[in-house]
Chains A and B, each alone.
Chain A
Amino acid sequence: MTARILVVDDDAAIAEMVGIVLRGEGFDPHFSYDGPAAMEAFASVKPDLVLLDLMLPGMDGIEVCTRIRETSGTPIIMLTAKSDSTDVVRGLESGADDYVVKPFNPKELVARIRTRLRPAAQSSVERLPIGDLVIDVTGHEVTRDGVPIALTPLEFDLLLALAMKPNQVFTREMLLEQVWGYQYKADTRLVNVHVQRLRAKVELDADNPRIVMTVRGVGYRAGTAR
């Protein structure tokens, strides 16, 4: 089945060009050119992934991102013209899974999209414990005492990656490779921001994490199963 991708960019030329690239790769692109239109299109198209420009007229990309995250875990990749500004962090904090800096090349964009659309890592076991949580691998669900916790696919992947190797300490680079599919050095802020977002959802006390543990100077590891 062809993946539907919603391209949100106020520059029609970029949108069309991205559309050409995506069609060439076998995706089904849909377009909207401002924030409110993006929200409508998101509801009607039900895309599998959103490509979102951060600077939009009407409603900026950050807000669109926040609004989508309120109802859905659909992967969002930001398109940004600023690589080292605080905008990237704000975008990630508002729920974007990944970002691509303009100008980007088609291969890079497609690689990022494919990583976000690929199925989660396969595990031989069906249920995995992490801290006091249970991950239902096939059902794509995380529960605490039988109560499900809503996670985005990316957060689920992140938690699963940690849970599958409970004795392993993951550096940020390892997580970037496993969860985000980066083969080369990338921005470790991606990991930091998403670990914070994940903790906000799964930890009982975010200041004293028990599920995603920090290993000082190295990275993260899974909390001990109860």
Chain B
Amino acid sequence: MLTFTWRSLVQRARRLWRGSLQLRTVAITVLLSTLAVTVVSGYMSLSIAANLYEARKNQAIAEARQATVSAQALFDSSVSANGTIDVEAVSRTAQTTIRSVASSPGGTEFAILRTPGQTTEVTMTATQTRALDLSVISDELREQVAQDDGQLYTQAVTLNAATGRPDPGLVVGGVFEVPTAGQYELYLVYNVRDVQQTLDFVQQTLVIGSLLLVGTIGLVTYFVTRLAIGPVRIAAETAEKLAEGELDRRIPEKGEDVIATLARSFNRMADSLQRQITQLATLSRVQQRFVSDVSHELRTPLTTIRLAGDVLYEQRDQFSPTTARTAELLHAQVDRFEAMLADLLEMSRYDAGAVDIDTEPTNLVRLVEESLDALRPLADEKGSELRLVAPGGYFEADVDARRIRRILQNLLGNAVDHGEGRPIVVHVDSDATAVAIAVRDYGVGMDAGQLERVFDRFWRADPSRQRTTGGTGLGLAIATEDAQLHGGTLDVWSEPGEGSCFRLTLPRERGATVHHSPVDLPPAEPLEVDLLGTDGLALERGEEDA
């Protein structure tokens, strides 16, 4: 659960990161400026510390030197004429002198220690200020100092002050010669807390300053990007709305800068888009209107012609043979003209995009049966046996029954026309998403060139062939449109001399599209063996609807 929450949090952050250009810009700017400021202030802090410390050290050394020199001078001048010296008295005076010389802030402690390992006639008492802890003067330092090479030696130490907090300290050591008493070492111990305090303050100021700087940079970046990205975001939102069809959307145009140029160009583009879409919509409306008008205008005279032709046709046996034949021709051609007009109007409706499908759950097996029944008289006339193979049994699909019936009548009509009197087999099958109807004939078939053109408008496989089912040359084109309207497909297989197979595949639910078909093309044929046989074959049927 916890990991899940964590993961979702990470995912949200990632989404936010990817989704917001502004967040990215601000974050990257802040990160980089933090890095730069850290480096700069680190360098500053280090060099300030070094300088401060160096200055203090130099001051301490100078003081120590003067103290040593003063002490030496004092001792040297205190030797009496007879060569004796009251070392203890001089030592006290020297201590006062040292104290007055070494008067740095922070308090200075000192110690006068006898260099070990000498034998002299008198010994001066080693002395030290009260607050000094002798342990801070390390043996290494004492050894260096005792060499008496005229140099002063320093060492950084830690002082345990009365406050309980350890303070940084500096020990400077030098030597002087006490007449009759030998070599003594003078150690001055400086408390450099004040330097550390100054350094601390400087560092603190640097850190606060850096934080403020980074914060300011972040804020500035935020506002600048907002200024720059804001109009881009508005443009993006407007483009989105425009794409969704709100053609009236525009970007507000302000100023003369590049953003304003973007807005103006975008708006010009939107204007032209809107104009063209409106124009297309008007054209489409005009087209539909035209179709509707043509429909009415042509049908009115055609109705009269049709009625007249039929009246004449009914009375043809009272006419002379020539006139009678004329009446027959008139009758037949008026029928054909009517069918053609209907197909043409249907076609132009598709072209105008003015077609809606009216779907309802339909049992396709029953639909195929009805179509087969309707075609049976014609098929009998041609000698073709009609068979149905429906292994899938009972199923329903959401289709426009009128359009599917029209497709079936067209496919079956073609099959009968080109079937050479051989059986015609209709396969119906379905799976979870699609239903398919395949109409297979064993007639003349088509070669590759014909196959290519078979769905073209006004194309006929064999113009000279005697047609029995009317035929306007638009049937398959309309069938294709009808199939596409359902989100389905119509495809074909054919071999010269072996016949043809047209397969209609439809999605079971409206709005879906098909990607595969439940029936192979050409379908696997359980009936192949019996095709040319004469014995009647029972229809293979699944369970029919109750």
A85, closest chain B residue (CB): B292
Q: Kindly list chain A residues whose C-beta atoms are within 8 Å of the C-beta of B299.
A: 81, 102-103
Chain A residue contacts of B300, Cβ below 8 A: 11, 14, 81, 102
Considering only CB atoms, which chain B residue lies closest to A55 in the complex?
B296
* CB of B308 within 8 Å of the partner chain: yes
B residues near A119, Cβ cutoff 8 Å: none
A165 within 8 A of B: no
Contacts of A13 on B, CB cut-off 8 Å?
A: 301, 304
Q: Which of A45-71 contact B (CB under 8 A)?
A: 55
- Among A17-25, A32-40, A143-151, the one that faces the other chain is A17-25
A81-B295, A82-B296 given; A103·B308 CB < 8 A: no
In the complex, per-residue mask of B281-325: 1 if CB is within 8 Å of any chain A CB, else 0: 000000000001001100111111111101100100000000000
Are A24 and B301 neighbours in the complex by a CB distance under 8 Å? Answer: no
Complex contacts, A107 vs chain B, CB 8 Å = 310
CA distance A46 to B305 in the complex (A): 30
Chain A positions within 8 Å of B301 at CB level: 11, 13
With A55-B296, A82-B296 already in contact, the answer to whether A102 and B302 are too (CB < 8 A) is yes
- The residue of chain B having its C-beta at the shortest distance from the C-beta of A105 within the complex is B310
> With A11-B303, A82-B296, A102-B300 given, can you name 13 additional A-B contacts, CB distance below 8 Å?
A11-B300, A13-B301, A21-B311, A55-B296, A81-B295, A81-B300, A82-B292, A102-B299, A102-B302, A103-B305, A104-B306, A105-B306, A106-B311
Q: Cβ of A18: which chain B residues have Cβ within 8 Å of it?
A: 307
CA distance A24 to B308 in the complex (A): 12
Cβ contacts A123-155/B at 8 Å (1 or 0 each) = 000000000000000000000000000000000
B307 and A21 contacting across the interface, CB-CB below 8 Å: yes
Name A103's contact: one of B292, B303, B311 (CB within 8 Å). B303
Given the interface pairs A82-B292, A82-B295, the reply to whether A106 lies near B310 with Cβ below 8 Å is yes
Q: Check if A17 sits within 8 Å of B295, measured CB to CB.
A: no
CB distance from A24 to the nearest CB of B (A): 7
Contact status of A17 and B304, CB under 8 A, knowing A105-B310, A106-B310:
yes
- Pick from B295, B307, B310 the residue with the most CB of A within 10 Å: B307
Task: Choose among B310, B311, B338 the residue with the greatest number of A CB atoms under 10 Å from its CB.
Answer: B310
Chain A, 93-135, contact with B by CB distance < 8 Å: what is the 0/1 string? 0000000001111110000000000000000000000000000
From B303, B305, B308, B311, A104 is in contact (CB under 8 Å) with B303
9 residue pairs of the A-B complex, CB under 8 angstroms, read A13-B304, A18-B307, A24-B311, A81-B295, A82-B295, A102-B303, A103-B299, A103-B305, A105-B306
A11 to B303, CA, bound (A): 10
| Shortest distance between the CB of B390 and any CB in chain A (Å) | 21
> Which interface class (under 10, 10 to 19, 20 to 34, 35 or more) fits B?
10 to 19
CB 8 Å contact bits of B66-98 with A (1 = contact, 0 = none): 000000000000000000000000000000000
B310: chain A residues at CB < 8 Å are: 105-107
A105, B302: Cα distance in complex, Å:
11
Query: What residues of B have a CB within 8 angstroms of the CB of A11 in the complex?
Result: 300-301, 303-304
| A81, B338: Cβ atoms closer than 8 Å | no
The answer for the CA separation of A169 and B473 in the assembled complex, in Å, is 43
Q: Which of A2-32 contact B (CB under 8 A)?
A: 11, 13-14, 17-18, 20-21, 24
Is B307 in contact with A17, judged by CB distance below 8 angstroms? yes
With a CB–CB cut-off of 8 A, which chain B residues contact A55? 296
Given contacts A14-B300, A24-B311, contact A103 B338 (CB under 8 A): yes
Complex Cα spacing A103 to B305, Å: 9
Q: How far is the CB of B415 from chain A (nearest CB, A)?
A: 22
Considering only residues 334-357 of chain B, those with a C-beta below 8 Å from chain A are 338
**How far is it, in angstroms, between the C-alpha of A95 and the C-alpha of B314 when the chains are bound?**
34
A13 to B303, CA, bound (A): 9
Q: Which among A20, A21, A81 has the greatest number of chain B C-beta atoms within 10 A? A: A81
User: Which of B303, B304, B306, B310 neighbours the largest number of chain A CB atoms within 10 Å of its CB?
Assistant: B303
Question: A20: which B residues are within 8 A, CB to CB?
Answer: 307, 311
**Separation of A143 and B299 alpha carbons in the complex (Å):** 44
A102 to B314 CA separation, bound complex (whole angstroms): 20
CA distance A14 to B256 in the complex (A): 69
Q: Which of B145-199 contact A (CB under 8 A)?
A: none
Residues of B within 8 A of A81 (CB): 295-296, 299-300
- Complex interface: chain A residues within 8 A of B302 (CB): 102-103
A-B pairs, 9 with minimum CB distance = A103-B303, A103-B306, A102-B303, A81-B296, A17-B307, A81-B299, A13-B304, A102-B299, A103-B302
What residues of B have a CB within 8 angstroms of the CB of A103 in the complex? 299, 302-303, 305-307, 338
Q: How far is the CB of A23 from chain B (nearest CB, A)?
A: 11
Complex alpha-carbon distance, A106 and B304, angstroms: 10
Whole-angstrom CA separation of A154 from B501 in the bound complex? 47
Smallest Cβ distance from A37 to chain B, in angstroms?
18
Minimum C-beta distance from A60 to chain B (A): 13
Nearest CB of chain B from residue A102's CB, rounded to whole Å: 4
B306: chain A residues within 8 A (beta carbon): 103-105
Measured in the bound complex, the distance between the Cα atoms of B35 and A90 in whole Å is 78
CB distance from B271 to the nearest CB of A (A): 35
Q: In the complex, what distance in Å separates the CA atom of A105 from the CA atom of B304? A: 10
Chain B residues whose C-beta falls within 8 Å of the C-beta of A105 in the assembled complex: 306-307, 310
Residue of B whose beta carbon sits closest to that of A217 = B361
Of residues 193 through 225 on chain B, the ones whose CB sits less than 8 Å from some CB of chain A are: none
Find the residue from A14, A103, A104, A106 having the highest chain B CB count within 10 A: A103
- How far apart are the CA atoms of A106 and B305 in the complex, in Å? 11
Identify which of residues 157-211 in chain A touch chain B, using a CB-to-CB cut-off of 8 Å.
none
- Given A106-B310, A106-B311, does the pair A14, B296 have CB atoms closer than 8 Å? no
Instruction: Name the residue of chain A whose CB is nearest to the CB of B298.
Output: A81
A13 vs B301: C-alpha distance in the bound complex, in angstroms?
A: 8
Across-interface contacts of A106 in B (CB, < 8 A):
307, 310-311, 314
The smallest C-beta distance from A16 to any residue of chain B, in angstroms, reads 8
CB-CB under 8 A from A17, the residues of chain B are 303-304, 307-308, 311
Residues of A within 8 A of B308 (CB): 17
CB distance from B391 to the nearest CB of A (A): 26
**Complex CA distance for A103 and B341, rounded to whole angstroms:** 11
CA A216 to CA B275, docked complex, whole Å:
48
| Chain A neighbourhood of B311, CB < 8 A | 17, 20-21, 24, 106
Q: Give bound CA distance, A103 to B307, whole Å.
A: 8
- Chain A residues with CB under 8 A of B338: 103
The complex places the Cα of A128 from the Cα of B55 at a distance, in Å, of 127
Measured CB to CB, the nearest residue on chain B to A54 is B296
Give the residue name and chain of the B residue nearest to A83 (CB). B342
Rounded to whole angstroms, the CA-CA distance of A55 and B292 in the bound complex is 12
Closest chain-A Cβ to B418's Cβ sits at a distance in Å of 27
